Amino acid sequence: MCANLLSSTPFSTIIAPSDFTRSLPPTHSARLQLSSFTRYPSGFKLATYRPLNLRFSSTMALQNQCENSSCSQLQDSLFYSRAFWVTKSIIAWNVGGGEDECYLYASRKAALCVDDDGIQGHDVKIKLERTNYGLPQQVIEKFPHIRDYAAFEVPKTLDFQSLVKCQLAVGIFNSDGKCASATGLQLPGILDELFSYTGPLGAIFATEAVSLYLWAPTAQAVQALIYKSPSEVDPVEIVQLKELDGVWSAKGPRHWEGCCYVYEVSVYHPSTLRIEKCVSNDPYARGLSADGKRTLLVNLDSDDVKPEGWDNLQHEKPKLLSFSDVSIYELHVRDFSANDPTVPHEFQGGYLAFTLQDSAGVQHLKKLSSAGVTHVHLLPTFQFAGVEDEKDKWKHIDIEILNSFPPDSEEQQALITSIQDEDGYNWGYNPVLWGVPKGSYASNANGPCRIVEFRKMVQALNRIGLRVVLDVVYNHLNASGHIDDFSVLDKIVPGYFLRRNVDGGIEHSTCVNNTASEHFMVERLILDDLKCWAVDYKVDGFRFDLMGHIMKRTMLKAKSLLNSLSTENNGVDGSSIYIYGEGWDFGEVANNGRGINASQFNLFGSGIGSFNDRIRDALLGGSPFGHPLHQGFVTGLYLEPNGHDLGDEANVKRLLTVSTDHIQVGMAANLKDFVLTNCDGQQVKGSDVLLHDGKPVGYASSPIETVNYVSAHDNETLFDIISLKTPKDISVEERCRMNHLATSIIALSQGIPFFHAGDEMLRSKSIDRDSYNSGDWFNRLDFSYNSNNWGVGLPPKEKNERNWPLIKPRLADPSYKPQKSHILAAVENFLNLMQIRYSSPLFRLRTANSIQERVRFHNTGPSWIPGLIVMSIEDGHQEVPGLSQLDPIYSYIVVIINPCPTDVSFANPALREKSLQLHPVQMNSIDDVVKNSTYDASSGCFNVPARTTSVFVEPR
C-alpha cells in the first residue's frame, strides 16, 4: 500500500509549498552559524563564513495548526535529524525502551508538521517494530557513535527508492496515543546500501556525444542548463536528466564541448525542511567559468589543453629510487612570485611564474634541486573560496604607504586586513571544487587556460628536477546549504556528503562543514579526484590536510589506487607517488569515534607518512598552543633562559633531557620499536618514551611513515619563533645559527625531511602566527636575498593581538633584523645540509631494521652533557659478515649537534681509533665556525663549536 501511494504521483509534478522564514532554536542556530574555528595541533586558521539563511516551509494551514507552544516545541524537533536509517531494514534511534509505538512518515511535498496527536501532512505512515537485539555488528562498525541506539525494523516491501526522495520523520507515541518525540532522519546508511555506484560520473566525452552523469538518489528532478558562454544570461538548452538507480544522466551533441552548464536539482533539503530547487556546479567539474558559478565542459584528453611534450612527461620526471629519498619544500603558488621583480607582471603570483627559467625564484629552486631537494609541495591549488578568480576585482594597498610606517606599527596590518577578503591572497583551505585548478593563479580564469597553465607548471618543475606534491583538503568544504554559491555537494545530495552529529547538525571540528569519507560515495569522490590529479595533471604526491578526519580505509584505498597506475595504461608511474598528511586525532573522529581514522597511531604499517609534531615541539619548546616564550632544545631551554618561569633549575633541566629523548626518537624516524637509552639510562622503545599527556612519542613502523619538520605554513616561521623565544640580549648572528641548527636536525634525521619555504632564507612574517589571509605583505618571499621580511609591522590583530606586547619591542629593535649577509649564509648552510644528506644513503635508510642496526645515540643516560646530541650511523663492508654495505664512499658517520652557547667536547671509547674527518661539504663551506670542529682518534674526543651541527665521516 505504501509503495503504491508513493508512486501514484509523478515526482516531476511536485511543486514546493509556499515558504515562511523561521528562526532556529538557539542551540541549533549556534551550531550552524559558525564564524571561526581554531585548527590544531599544527596551527590556527580562521575562516569566516556567511551565516546560513535557513528557511523552513509548510502550508498556511499547518502553520496555523502549530501555533500553540507545545506543538511549536514538537515542530522544532523536525529541525533535527536524530534518527538514522542505517540499512534498508533498520532505523536506529536513541529512545528509551517500552511498549511505545513508532512510525515512519513521508511527505513528497515536505509538508510534515508535529502536534500532540502526531505528525501531520504525511503521504505515508509506516509502523516500525522495535527489536530486542540492538544494532547489527556491521552497522556498529559503520556508525560506532550510535552503537547503543535502539533498532527498529522497517517493512521489506517498501518502495525505498521513492521514500528517500521525501521529507522523512519518525515519531514515537505513548500508551495514551500522544506523540512523545519526533525527529528527522539521517540517510547515509540506506543510501550506501541501495545506491553505491561505480559507473561514470561527470561529463564523459565520446566521438559523437557528450554524456552527463550525476549521482543524486534523493533528487526528485534534475535538469542541466547549457550556456554557450560563461557570460550568457539565458541557457541555450535545458536538458531533463533521466534517473536509473539514483544516477541521473543525459546525452548531448559533441559541440557542447566548450559550453558551460549548471545543474538544477529539485530535492528535499534538511536545512530548510522544504523541497528546494538548488542550482549547482557538477561535483565532478573539470573546468569552471571565471566567476566559478558554471561548470566548463572541457575534455582533459584533448590536445588543445596539453602543452607540447605533455604526453611524454613521465619519461622526463626526476628519478626516485625510494620514498626514503624524498625531501619536501612547502611553497604557496602566490608567495613564490607575487613580489619577484624578475617575473613579468602578468605572470606574478601564478602558475606560469614556474616556467620562467631565469627568474630569481626559479634560480633558487634550481639550487635546491641541485642540492638534493626532491619535491615541491604546493599549498592548495584546487578551486577555493576567498579569492576572486577575476583579477580586476582585487583591491590593493599602495606599497609605498606600507613602507612608510615603522617596523612595529599597527598601521600596516590595519590596511592589509581592511581588504583581506577582497585582495588576491589566501592560503586556499576553503575548498569549493576539488577537481579544478584555481582560476586566480591562471592568466585567464575563463576557458581552459587554468588547465594548460597548471600542466605547464608541473612540466617546468619536473624538468628542473623537482616533483610536485598537491595539498588536498578532503576533510571539509567551504560552504553548505541550498543557497550559497560555493555550496556544491550539499545541494546535490543534502545531508550525505557532510558529516553530521547525533542531532543532525553539520560537524565543524576541522574548520567548517566536515566531510564524511566513511560514506561510500564521498570516498569514491576522493579517490576519483586523486586519480584525476595523478593521471590528468601528472602530479607526484599528495599531502592530506587534517588527514586524521579521513578514514584509514579511504587512505589505504587511495594508496592502492595510486600504486596501481602504470606508465603503459595511465601515462604515469603511480608507484612513485608519495602520500602523507596531518594525522591529528581530535574532534568527532578522535579515538575512532566514526570508524578507524587515519591518525598517526592508526597508520602504523601503512606506508603513509604523517607529520611528526613531537620533534617540532621538542626543538622549539612547548607547542603552538602553549605560552609563546616556552623554550625548547634549539631556543635556549636550560642553556640560555629567557626569563619565562618553567619551574626550578632541576625541573628545567629535566625538560631539556626529556626533549632530547623526543628528538632522538624523531631522528630515528620516530619508530615505535626503535630501542635507545633514555635520559634515565634505561633501554626503551620509541613507544615507551612518552609525551606530557602520556601518549607515545614513537608511532611509525618505517621511515617513510614519518615526516619530520620544525616549521610549516601554520604558526610562526622558524626564524620568527626563534626570535620570540630566545633571550633579548643575544645577537642576530646567534639567532641565525639557531635557525641553522634546527634545520640541520630535520635535514640529517631518518625519515622524510619537510621544510617550509623560506626556512633556508630566515623567512619572517613579522611574527604572524597565522598568515592564511594576511596578504602578500606579510607573506613575502625575497629571492634576491635582500630582505627576510622582518619588521613589516605588527602582525594582524585578529590572531596576534594577545602577543603584541611581546612582539612590538622585538620588531622595534633594529638588532633583530638580519642583513643580506646573514640570509646568504643561511641559504648556503641549507644547501650544504641537503648535499650532506644526499652524499650518503646512510642518512636515508629504507627500513626500520636498518635504522635499529646502524643508528646509535651516544650522549645518553644520567651522566650526559646537557643539550648535546651525538648520533652515529654505521655501514658494513663488502665480504665481511654482519652489516651489508650500503655506501661506497663512507663506512661510518657521526653527527654532533651542539645547541649550547659555548664549545663542547665529548669523548666516547666506542668512537676511538676511527678515521673520522669533517665532512668535505662542511670543510669547503663558507661557515668558518663549523671548520673549527675537531676529532682526536686516540681519545675518541670531539670538539664542536657553539650552536653548530658537525658531521664527521670515515672514508673507505
Is 582 considered catalytic here?
yes
**DSSP per residue, 902-929:** S-EEEE-GGG-S---EE-HHHHTSS-TT
Count helices and strands (H / E) in the chain: 26, 40
Q: Rounded CA gap, 79 and 28, in Å?
A: 8
Neighbours of 394 (CB within 10 A): 14
**DSSP per residue, 782-804:** -TTSS-----SSSPPHHHHGGGH
Q: Rounded CA gap, 663 and 673, in Å?
A: 15
Burial letters for 296-312: b for 16+ Cβ neighbours within 10 Å, e otherwise?
Answer: bbbbbeeeebbbeebee
Please name which of 396, 404, 331 lies closest in space to residue 792, comparing C-alpha atoms.
404
Please name which of 45, 183, 166, 76 lies closest in space to residue 500, comparing C-alpha atoms.
183
Q: Which of 582, 585, 588, 875 is catalytic?
A: 582
Strand 948-955, strand 917-918: pairing: antiparallel
Please name which of 859, 664, 677 lies closest in space to residue 750, comparing C-alpha atoms.
664
Assign residue 68 a region (left: φ > 0; alpha: ψ between -120 and 50; beta: otherwise): beta
Q: Which three cell numbers stand for residue 169?
A: 520523520
Neighbours of 792 (CB within 10 A): 24
Q: Contact at 8 Å (CB) between 480 and 498? A: yes
In the block, which residue shows the cell 651541527? 949
Q: Which of 545, 661, 776, 875 is catalytic?
A: 545
Q: Which three cell numbers stand for residue 123?
A: 503521504
Query: What sign does the dihedral 3-8-14-17 (CA atoms) show?
Result: negative
To the nearest 10°, report the CA torsion of 455, 456, 460, 462. 20
Q: Which residues on neighbouring strands pair with residue 226, listed in sequence order? A: 237, 261
Q: How many residues does the chain have?
A: 956
Neighbours of 791 (CB within 10 A): 21
Q: DSSP secondary-structure letter at 25?
A: P
Q: 88 by DSSP, 3-state: which?
A: coil
Q: Rounded CA gap, 894 and 906, in Å?
A: 12
Q: Rounded CA gap, 271 and 110, in Å?
A: 12
Q: Contact at 8 Å (CB) between 92 and 150? A: yes
Q: Contact at 8 Å (CB) between 901 and 639? A: yes
Q: Which three cell numbers stand for residue 75?
A: 515542530
Q: 261: which residues sit within 8 A by CB, 6+ positions away?
A: 212, 224, 225, 226, 227, 282, 294, 295, 297
Q: Which residues on neighbouring strands pair with residue 210, listed in sequence order? A: 205, 252
Neighbours of 114 (CB within 10 A): 28
Residue 29's alpha-carbon distances to 481, 488, 712, in angstroms, are 14, 22, 35
Query: What sign does the dihedral 257-225-490-288 (CA atoms) show?
Result: positive
Q: Rounded CA gap, 852 and 117, in Å?
A: 71
Q: Which residues are annotated as catalytic?
A: 545, 582
